[in-house]
């Protein structure tokens, strides 16, 4: 039956009515799923590429989505990106539906631009950071993050890093829908590893709210450690100390671990971190004490012969140790 | 790409199953439900579950699970936004959402899913267009369907389907043309017991109810446009014009919609101050909390409620409040102090003691959650300056109101 489809499909792709054209675009992707050779022989993919200049935005959105699907399935770039195609995609970005915008942005993110192209595209993409649809915002942020590598103009680079990128990311965190917060946090984790400057002045947005779901809180802790620096360590430590008094055991353990990682990361703050860890040990809560001892062992490994005075306090708690890792750490100490 | 959608009831039963590409077996839902049984609280289940063959993405709303099993590389936010959009459309159609409503309307739901998504692509998510194609249920239509063969799907395509303004239908007509804007500002805060703010932020939302005929082109201007920097705009707003001139220029959808959300850091007025003094020890505990208004000389602070979580091992409580009522939930030991409207002359004050087991160890922090509302007030100072309208011959009635309320507002208590 598929072969009988080809003639009508080819006509439909050029039909006068945009509703017909937009549906035909999706049909090509569905047909590709079923019979690849047929689609490639009949030149439907070329027709899809031409449809990116269609006057109707819905048609463009579907053509882009279909090409993206086919590219994914064939593991080959079906867009044949060149400056001409690039321009067509950028024009379509403004007009097509939000779902089509996600496909176009992801397609741009896979492209390797020249320096001039990178600057132009970033200028056209930055407004998308203000869209209400979080998928559009995240895909736009992805394009900008990728293209930052290609931009050599230091002023533009600084503008993007210090001003343009952090507001939409923080807005995603203020969403009331925890799934969106979670995906945003996972992406922010990666962003912060590559360019911590984007968010290093905004640690307070990652402090855990009381009724955040546990999976959101765990990600926030991770990011807090990555953003800790000598300017904000006092606030971060206070927040981690509060977190260590919460109810969920896994979360508390992670908070204690985070304090230790801050000490290892920031030599100038190690003493403060140790002070907090000792205070937590005084609470005599079993899992807190054990986790603290494990992490103090790592601090001793990083800074030998400096904080040995606290060993006496640690020894007062030998009886509470029942986990193997905690016992091993104490023995090493 | 949304390959499939399963809607599960609160007991894991599959209510709706729709596949657009590929064929995922129903057993994926059983696999998902195994994870559900492992968590105590449904809201704590990670929304993305990784299995050897699929990524299972889900949202949990109205005690229903909307689930998709994805096997190709897809932006996860795309899937979640699609789930939320589907949920919003269902609410728009049926005013509410629960297991019974899904069972009663499953044919409309399947028709909607068919129209909204084709081959895994989201093609039609504008509520006004869908309503023109698949008519929402009403008593008259139900009777007609049962008595005759009448379809609930219309025979013609709606007018705006392939236009550049798909979110608005061409033939809107009202006798009285009116448009209302509601500005809601929510204050999120974490405040410690010394009245020092650990972190505050303000998130605002402008919602609109548009009852205008024809195709009006609106421009909304504000008194302090520099406040509107960090925004998320509805798809109908012209983003480039906003970036240039800081005005909101748009052709509105018909009916209710969320025009934009904005976020402010920095300093702004927090209408109430809460002084908590709490002490929980072995055997007994004392609590003293006072609530005072700030900066609000002539505006009323209403709907004030404080949620105070007592330790779960609390045996008995003896509390007195100078204003309002106190109710303690016996299951969670959370005390709900309902003050209502803040009185001018008295200061609301709660004090009392609780009895705890003799072996109680104080290892839990007490965090109080506060709710409040101030009508006709915006904490940020953002006000609508004017609304100009083009493209129509009538003069509509325009209304604006603002409300400031507590968002996630927490006060931490330290021990005394």
Tokens coding A147: 């293209």
Is A204's CB within 8 Å of B198's CB? yes
Q: Which residues of A touch B1 (CB under 8 A)?
A: 69
Alpha carbons B245 and A167: distance in angstroms, whole number: 19
Structure confidence at residue B7 as a pLDDT band (50, 70, 90): very high
Structure confidence at residue B145 as a pLDDT band (50, 70, 90): low
CA distance A324 to chain B (A): 24
* 3-class secondary-structure state, position A76: coil
| ipTM, 2 dp | 0.89
Is A174's CB within 8 Å of B263's CB? yes
Structure confidence at residue B160 as a pLDDT band (50, 70, 90): low
Alpha carbons A144 and A159: distance in angstroms, whole number: 12
pTM as predicted:
0.85
What is the full DSSP assignment across B172-198?
---SS-EEEEEEEEEEEEEE-TTS-EE
Q: Which helix (H) or strand (E) holds A302?
A: helix A286-302
pLDDT (0 to 100) of residue A269:
92
Taking only the tens of pLDDT, chain A with its 333 residues reads: 777 888 889 999 999 998 899 899 999 998 998 888 888 888 899 999 999 888 887 888 889 889 988 988 888 888 888 888 888 888 888 888 899 899 999 989 988 899 899 999 999 999 999 999 999 999 999 999 999 999 888 888 888 888 889 999 999 988 789 999 999 999 999 999 999 889 988 898 899 887 889 999 999 999 999 999 999 999 999 999 988 888 888 999 999 999 999 999 999 999 999 999 999 998 888 899 999 999 999 999 999 888 888 888 888 888 888 899 999 999 999
Please give the angle made by the CA atoms of B264, B267 and B272, to the nearest 5 degrees. 105
| Percent of chain B scoring above 90 in pLDDT | 43
Q: What is the pLDDT averaged over residues B223-247?
A: 90
pLDDT (0 to 100) of residue A86:
87
Q: Do B368 and B306 form a contact (C-beta atoms < 8 A)?
A: yes
Interface test with B, best of A54, A109, A135 (most B CBs within 10 A): A135
Bridge pairing between strands B255-264 and B197-211: antiparallel
B329 touches chain A (CB under 8 A): no
Q: Do B317 and B354 form a contact (C-beta atoms < 8 A)?
A: yes
- The answer on pLDDT for B155 being more than 80 is no
Question: In this structure, what are the phi and psi dihedrals at residue B398, rounded to the nearest 5 degrees?
Answer: -120, 130
Is B44's CB within 8 Å of A57's CB? no
Q: Do A53 and A30 form a contact (C-beta atoms < 8 A)?
A: no
- The answer on pLDDT for B149 being more than 70 is no
Is B75's CB within 8 Å of A66's CB? no
Alpha carbons B251 and B327: distance in angstroms, whole number: 48
Question: In this structure, what are the phi and psi dihedrals at residue B252, rounded to the nearest 5 degrees?
Answer: -75, 150
Structure confidence at residue B158 as a pLDDT band (50, 70, 90): low
Q: What is the pLDDT averaged over residues B222-233?
A: 89
Alpha carbons A13 and A18: distance in angstroms, whole number: 9
Q: What is the pLDDT averaged over residues B31-56?
A: 91
The total number of residues shown for chain A amounts to: 333
CA distance B139 to chain A (A): 32
Interface test with A, best of B40, B127, B162, B371 (most A CBs within 10 A): B162
CA distance A250 to chain B (A): 13
Cα A187 from chain centroid (whole Å) = 1
Q: Which residues of A touch B369 (CB under 8 A)?
A: 210-211
Q: Nearest by CB to A133, which of B21, B59, B81? A: B81
Q: A282-303 burial string, b = 16+ CB within 10 Å, else e?
A: eeebeebbbbbbbbbbbbbeee
Q: Which residue of chain A is at minimal alpha-carbon distance from B198?
A: A204
Alpha carbons A5 and A3: distance in angstroms, whole number: 5
- The answer on pLDDT for B52 being more than 60 is yes
Query: Comparing C-alpha atoms, which of A184, A174, A273 is closest to residue A228?
Result: A273
Q: Which residue of chain B is at minimal alpha-carbon distance from A59?
A: B162
Q: Which residues of A touch B59 (CB under 8 A)?
A: 177, 179
CA distance B395 to chain A (A): 30
Is B239's CB within 8 Å of A135's CB? no
Is B162's CB within 8 Å of A22's CB? yes
Q: Which residue of chain B is at minimal alpha-carbon distance from A212?
A: B44
Structure confidence at residue B162 as a pLDDT band (50, 70, 90): low
Cα A180 from chain centroid (whole Å) = 11
Name the H helices within B95-211. 99-104, 106-116, 127-133, 139-147
Is B363's CB within 8 Å of A283's CB? yes
Structure confidence at residue B57 as a pLDDT band (50, 70, 90): very high
Is B232's CB within 8 Å of A245's CB? no
- The answer on pLDDT for B295 being more than 80 is no
Please give the angle made by the CA atoms of B376, B377 and B382, to the nearest 5 degrees. 120
Q: Nearest by CB to B365, which of A135, A179, A246? A: A246
Q: What is the pLDDT averaged over residues B340-357?
A: 88
| Torsion, Cα of A222, A223, A226, A232 (10° steps) | -120
- The answer on pLDDT for B363 being more than 80 is no
pLDDT (0 to 100) of residue B337:
92
pLDDT (0 to 100) of residue B153:
67
Q: Which residues of A touch B81 (CB under 8 A)?
A: 133-135, 180
Tokens coding A243: 């977190």
pLDDT (0 to 100) of residue B157:
67
B43 touches chain A (CB under 8 A): yes
- The answer on pLDDT for B150 being more than 60 is no
Is B59's CB within 8 Å of A131's CB? no
Tokens coding A47: 């027709």
Q: Which residues of A touch B207 (CB under 8 A)?
A: none
Q: Which helix (H) or strand (E) holds B350?
A: strand B349-355
| Percent of chain B scoring above 70 in pLDDT | 93
Q: Do B67 and B32 form a contact (C-beta atoms < 8 A)?
A: yes
pLDDT (0 to 100) of residue A260:
94
Residue numbers of B between 99 and 128 with CB closer than 8 Å to A: 118-123, 125
The total number of residues shown for chain B amounts to: 416
């Amino acid at each position: 039956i598929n072969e009988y489809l080809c003639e009508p499909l080819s006509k439909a792709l050029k039909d006068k009515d945009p509703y017909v054209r937009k549906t035909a675009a999706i049909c090509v992707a569905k047909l590709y799923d079923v019979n690849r050779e047929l689609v490639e022989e009949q030149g439907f993919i070329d027709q899809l590429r031409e449809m990116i200049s269609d006057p109707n935005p819905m048609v463009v959105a579907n053509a882009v989505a279909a090409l993206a699907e086919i590219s994914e399935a064939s593991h080959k770039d079906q867009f044949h990106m060149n400056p001409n195609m690039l321009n067509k995609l950028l024009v379509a970005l403004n007009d097509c539906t939000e779902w089509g915008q996600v496909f176009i942005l992801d397609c741009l993110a896979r492209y390797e631009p020249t320096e001039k192209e990178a600057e132009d595209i970033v200028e056209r993409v930055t407004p998308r950071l203000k869209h209400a649809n979080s998928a559009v915002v995240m895909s736009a942020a992805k394009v900008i993050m990728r293209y930052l590598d290609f931009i050599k103009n230091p002023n533009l680079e600084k503008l993007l890093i210090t001003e343009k990128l952090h507001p939409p990311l923080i807005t995603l965190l203020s969403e009331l829908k925890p799934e969106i917060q979670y995906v945003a946090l996972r992406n922010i984790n990666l962003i912060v590893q590559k360019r911590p400057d984007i968010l290093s002045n905004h640690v307070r947005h990652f402090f855990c709210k009381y009724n955040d779901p546990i999976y959101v809180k765990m990600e926030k802790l991770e990011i807090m450690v990555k953003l800790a620096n000598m300017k904000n360590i006092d606030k971060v430590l206070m927040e981690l100390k509060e977190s260590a008094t919460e109810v969920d055991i896994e979360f508390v353990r992670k908070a204690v671990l985070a304090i230790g990682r801050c000490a290892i990361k920031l030599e100038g703050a190690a003493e403060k971190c140790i002070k907090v860890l000792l205070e937590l040990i005084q609470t005599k809560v079993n899992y807190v004490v054990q986790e603290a001892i494990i992490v103090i062992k790592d601090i001793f490994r990083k800074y030998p012969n400096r904080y040995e005075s606290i060993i006496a306090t640690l020894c007062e708690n030998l009886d509470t140790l029942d986990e193997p890792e905690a016992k091993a750490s104490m023995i090493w100490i | 790409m949304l390959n499939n959608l399963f809607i599960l009831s609160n007991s894991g039963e599959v209510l709706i199953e729709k596949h657009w590409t590929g064929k995922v077996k129903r057993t994926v839902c059983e696999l998902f439900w195994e994870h559900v049984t492992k968590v105590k609280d449904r809201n704590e289940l990670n929304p993305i579950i990784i299995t050897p063959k699929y990524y299972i993405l889900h949202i949990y709303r109205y005690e229903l699970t909307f689930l998709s099993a994805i096997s190709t590389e897809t932006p996860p936010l795309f899937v979640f936004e699609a789930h939320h959009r589907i949920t919003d459309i269902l609410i728009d159609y049926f005013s509410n959402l629960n297991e019974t409503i899904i069972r009663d309307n499953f044919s409309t739901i399947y028709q909607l899913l068919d129209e909204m998504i084709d081959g895994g692509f989201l093609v039609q998510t504008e509520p006004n267009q869908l309503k023109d194609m698949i008519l929402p249920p009403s008593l008259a239509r139900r009777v007609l369907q049962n008595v005759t063969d009448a379809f609930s799907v219309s025979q013609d395509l709606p007018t705006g389907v392939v236009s550049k303004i798909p979110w608005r239908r061409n033939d809107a007509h009202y006798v009285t043309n009116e448009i209302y804007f509601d500005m809601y500002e929510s204050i999120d805060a974490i405040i410690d017991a010394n009245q020092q703010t650990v972190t505050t932020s303000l998130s605002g939302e402008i919602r609109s109810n548009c009852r205008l005929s024809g195709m009006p082109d609106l421009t909304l201007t504000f008194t302090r446009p520099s406040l509107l920097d960090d925004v998320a705009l509805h798809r109908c707003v012209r983003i480039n014009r906003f970036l240039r001139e800081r005005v909101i220029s748009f052709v509105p959808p018909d009916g209710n919609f969320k025009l934009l959300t904005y976020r402010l850091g920095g300093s702004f007025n927090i209408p109430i101050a809460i002084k908590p003094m709490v002490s929980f020890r072995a055997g007994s505990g004392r609590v003293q909390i006072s609530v005072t208004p700030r900066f609000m000389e002539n505006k009323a602070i209403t709907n004030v409620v404080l949620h105070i979580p007592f330790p779960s091992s609390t045996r008995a409580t003896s509390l007195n409040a100078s204003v309002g009522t106190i109710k303690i939930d016996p299951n969670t030991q959370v005390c709900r102090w309902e003050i209502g409207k803040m009185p001018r002359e008295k200061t609301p004050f709660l004090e009392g003691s609780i009895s705890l087991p003799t072996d109680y160890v104080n290892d839990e922090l007490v965090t109080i959650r506060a709710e409040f509302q101030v009508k006709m007030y915006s904490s940020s100072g953002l006000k609508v300056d004017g609304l100009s309208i083009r493209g129509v011959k009538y003069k509509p009635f325009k209304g604006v109101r603002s409300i400031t309320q507590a968002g996630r507002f927490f006060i931490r208590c330290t021990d005394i």
